Structure formats: C-alpha cells, structure tokens
Amino acid sequence: MRTSIIQIVTITLMLIPCLPFIQAEPENYFRLTLHYNNGTISMKTLVVLPLALPTAKGSGDFTANLVSFENNTLNSTTFGFPRQVFYDSWNEETGEISGGGVFLLDEADEMVSICN
C-alpha cells in the first residue's frame, strides 16, 4: 500500500512540469504570406496549423487582426514589408567605398504569423 502511494506521488510530481504544455482546447497558428505591389496588399498563401507556435511581436506600418465570427478581435500583430534596399558604391581603383544610398522596391513579400 505504501509503495503504491509513493508511486502515485512520484508520477504526479513528474507530470507537474508538463502542465504548461497541456491545453484543453488546441490553438491554431495562422501563417500568411502577403504580397505588396505599389500600395496594394494581396494574400499569396494561408497555412493553418493546429498548434500554437511562439510568435514574436512584429513592427511596421500595418496591423493584422484575427477576428472571430462574432467580430471579436482574438489577437493582433504588426508587420511591415522589407522595401528598402541599401547599397554601397566603391572606387574601382582603390577598392574603397565612395558612396551609397537607398532605393525602394515596388514589390515585396512578407510572412505574418498570428495565433488565436
């Protein structure tokens, strides 16, 4: 009897660290690939995975909201499109950098991740 109680307590103590990973209702992870073309944003792909992956809060000029059928915001994230390209120019005789600049791309893709 005492041995079985010790076994139950031992198993319980072993399972306690696993509690944060156990969820009653699985979350979904949405991964969108968006395309920017001269001010127009369109969705290229949408992948829904039945698990919650850690997502970093993004930064940028745009916001993606995950909205329920009842029009409640479940989660949101910000994102931007990598449109700036930095370049260097160099003196071919000396091999040293002599200038540079920035130009903007008309088109860019961005992957946005959001969990519910």
Residue 20 lies in a domain: no
- pTM for the structure as a whole: 0.59
What's the chain's average pLDDT?
A: 77
Q: Quick check: is 14 in a domain?
A: no
DSSP letter at 19? G
Q: Give residue-wise pLDDT tens across range 12-69.
A: 445 455 445 544 455 778 888 899 999 888 889 888 887 655 556 667 888 888 888 8
- The CA distances from residue 24 to 11, 19, 20, 21, in Å, are 21, 11, 11, 10
- Residues 81-88 have a mean pLDDT of 89
Contact 31, 46 (CB under 8 A): yes
Q: For residue 18, is it within any domain?
A: no
pLDDT at 95 > cutoff 70: yes
Q: Say which amino acid occupies 102.
A: V
Q: How far apart are CA 50 and CA 31, in angstroms?
A: 11
Q: Which has more confidence, 102 or 17?
A: 102
Q: Is residue 89 part of a domain?
A: yes
- On whether residue 2 sits in a domain, the answer given is no
Q: Using alpha carbons, list the distances in angstroms from residue 75 to 15, 99, 112, 116.
A: 30, 44, 13, 6
Number of domains comprising the chain: 1
Residue type for 31, please? R
Q: Is the residue at 82 inside a domain?
A: yes
Above pLDDT 90, what percent of the chain?
A: 10
Domain interval for residue 73: 25-115
